Amino acid sequence: MTDTTAPASQRIVEISYRLRLAHPDAACALHHTNAFELLCATILSAQCTDERVNLVTPALFARYPTPEAMAAADRAELEELIRSTGFFRNKAKSLQEASAAICARFGGEVPQEMDDLLSLHGVARKTANVVRGVWFRLADGVVVDTHVKRLSQKLGLVESATPEKIEKELMALLPQSDWIDISHLLIFHGRRVCNARRPLCGQCTLADLCPSAGM
């Protein structure tokens, strides 16, 4: 019988199973129709909610639907379109420089390879993992956002505090086939049940496996 005192390596299988039953619709919340849109949306999502990004991207992608168009955009106009996502000047620069590099070095197509993605301005490992995992279905690691970080700590799955180390711990716990989905599952659970301010422990399918339940 697995309980809250069992090692993470024993609890993770049941946790993953229950999350899949509870959130069968778990998927990337950023609206996109291609790899370029996903890349841009993920860049915009830094320090911003997915909901806010989804409000901004329809007009953004209508105005600049391709890397070529984005690279050639008027910077002031681009900044105004994405202003509400925060840090809009830095994000506009990242969008344009990444787009220019995609045009110059990758034939106008978002690259699949991790090293190529990381070579783009404004693209760190989290963004690259999102694009690789969600669009190309290639699992190099686990996307660790604020929800994944918080829940993996509350569930006692990890001991680390930084996203980079948390990612490595989760990768060691899970088979590679689960690396992409576990992020979506934890994010959906964090939004629907394990809210940071008011976790619904009484309604949580993981309560008997969570050392933080009721705290």
The pLDDT score that the predictor gives to residue 206 is 96
Q: What is the band of 8 on the pLDDT scale with cuts at 50, 70, 90?
A: very high
Last residue of a domain, one of 95, 118, 135: 135
Q: Token pair for residue 40?
A: 């841009």
Residue 215 lies in a domain: no
Residue 1 lies in a domain: no
CATH at residue 161: 1.10.1670.10
| Residue-wise pLDDT tens digits, 37-96 | 999 999 999 999 999 999 999 999 999 999 999 999 999 999 999 999 999 999 999 999
**pTM of this prediction?**
0.92
Same domain, 158 and 110: no
Residue 74 lies in a domain: yes
Asked if the model's pLDDT at residue 156 lies above 90, the reply is yes
Nearest alpha carbon to residue 65 among 23, 32, 89:
32
Residue 204 lies in a domain: yes
Same domain, 43 and 21: no
Last residue of a domain, one of 80, 106, 135: 135
CATH at residue 114: 1.10.340.30
The pLDDT score that the predictor gives to residue 2 is 64
Residue 49 lies in a domain: yes
Percentage with pLDDT > 90 across the chain:
96
| Residue-wise pLDDT tens digits, 105-127 | 999 999 999 999 999 999 999 99
Question: What does the buried/exposed string (b/e) look like for 81-104 if buried means 16 or more CB atoms within 10 Å of the residue's CB?
Answer: bbeebeebeebbebbbebbbbbbe
Q: What is the band of 4 on the pLDDT scale with cuts at 50, 70, 90?
A: confident
* Average pLDDT rounded to a whole number, residues 138-152: 95
Residue 97 lies in a domain: yes
Number of Cβ atoms within 10 Å of the Cβ of 136 = 16
Tokens 């006692």 -> residue: 156
- Domain holding 78, by residue range, is 35-135
Same domain, 16 and 94: no
Last residue of a domain, one of 112, 135, 158: 135
Identify the H or E element spanning 167.
helix 163-173
Structural domains in the chain (count):
2
The pLDDT score that the predictor gives to residue 84 is 98
